[in-house]
Amino acid sequence: MTTAEPISLSAIREAQERLADTIFHTPLVPLNADESPAEIFLKLENLQPIGSFKLRGAGNAMRLAKKEQLQKGVWTASAGNWAQGVAWYARLLGVKCTVVLPEAAPETKIAAIERLGTRVVFAPFDDWMQIFRSRSYEGMEGLFIDDFSEPAVRAGHGTIGLEILEELPDVDAVVIPYGGGGLSCGIAPGLRALKPDTKLYACEVETGAPLAASLAAGKPVEINHTPSFVDGISAPFLLPGMWELASQLLDGSLVVGLEEVASAIRILAERNCIIVEGAGAVSVAAALTGKAGSGKVVCVISGGNIDKSKLVRILQGKVP
């Protein structure tokens, strides 16, 4: 059951307690770039056991599920990182798991999912995207766990915001990668409740930025989408229920180009010795433009699962 209502601060705090034994309180470190237009900090969710923040939402949702709901297992649709979060927790709980991936999913993420003992099913991109609207797919059984709109998932993701405020209570802005909206619309309610003057920005890549286009139009719109190495975010449309949340919780969406994302990946590797995937570097790319302001800006580094071949090309100064 989904809802367009923002999650409560109490739900986020309860999720933090529920996840304390499995979720890593990730570091918040400065970006080592003196020429930055702001004092940029990195919230390193790429250091979670599966290499991304997705473990938070998956864990909270699955621990809240009733035993009888899990009897036939769980399944989900994912570009890779969410699948790993669900698979990791399914293995922990002894639950059967299946994930539907787009046919162009990165080999690094496919291998990581399979290592967790999860069955993988591939779907054409358009069919895969429709799962988020229909919440069904031929041959799937068990509990479907949605990465974006389920309140329990967003509450799990919202624990990131509590950790940011614990370490940097005077933060001026937080920049959050926007794929389906679960991360940004999970983090935002807690920050709005505890520090309402903080600016909260989504960030998207120009090859598929439906939130920015929708905000400009004042309503949800569909856009042209081009697949790229930034595979963890980017879509042709907003997912059901997320327009209502994103438009009321966020201060805007900062859109960056592929070259800016590749440059951010190089900077993170060279200056901070941090390996980040395309979606994880979008926040840094956006902050480096100065669009998030000149104060203390936190960039959520959402994941680090990048194919080695793409990383090599980027470090060579190219755009995959």
- Which run of H or E residues covers position 280? helix 278-288
Tell me the helices (H) and strands (E) count for the chain, helix number first: 12, 10
pLDDT higher for 313 or 80?
A: 313
- pLDDT tens-place string over residues 256-279: 999 999 999 999 999 999 999 999
CATH number of 55-144: 3.40.50.1100
Question: What is the reported pLDDT for 107?
Answer: 86
**Extended beta strands in the chain, E state:** 28-30, 39-44, 74-77, 97-102, 119-123, 143-144, 173-177, 199-205, 253-256, 296-301
Check for a shared fold between 9-52+150-315 and 55-144: yes
Reported confidence tier of residue 176, pLDDT bands at 50, 70, 90: very high
Question: What is the reported pLDDT for 108?
Answer: 84
Q: What is the mean pLDDT of residues 71-83?
A: 91
- pLDDT tens-place string over residues 19-52: 999 999 999 999 999 889 999 999 999 999 999 9
Question: What is the reported pLDDT for 1?
Answer: 39
Q: What is the mean pLDDT of residues 164-168?
A: 98
Q: Torsion over CA of 282, 111, 131 and 237, rounded to 10 degrees?
A: 20
Question: What is the reported pLDDT for 194?
Answer: 98
- pLDDT tens-place string over residues 110-164: 998 999 999 999 999 899 989 988 889 999 999 999 888 789 999 999 999 999 9
- Say how many C-beta atoms besides its own lie within 10 A of residue 92's C-beta: 13
Closest by CA to 314, choosing from 206, 228, 233, 208, is 228
Domain ranges in the chain are 9-52+150-315, 55-144
Q: What is the mean pLDDT of residues 272-289?
A: 98
Can you spell out the DSSP letters for 28-95?
A: EEE---TT-SSEEEEEEGGGSTTSBTHHHHHHHHHHHS-GGGGTT-EEEE-SSHHHHHHHHHHHHHT-
Order of strands across the sheet that contains 97-102: 119-123, 97-102, 74-77, 143-144
Residue 110 corresponds to which tokens in the numbers above? 């496919």
Question: What is the reported pLDDT for 132?
Answer: 84
CA angle 79, 191, 261 (to 5 degrees): 40
Question: What's the rounded Cα separation, in Å, for the pair 207 and 217?
Answer: 18
Residue 83 corresponds to which tokens in the numbers above? 């699948």
Question: What is the reported pLDDT for 66?
Answer: 92
Angle between helices 278-288 and 258-272 (to 10 degrees): 90
Tell me which architecture the domain covering 9-52+150-315 has in CATH. 3-Layer(aba) Sandwich (3.40)
Question: What is the reported pLDDT for 104?
Answer: 85
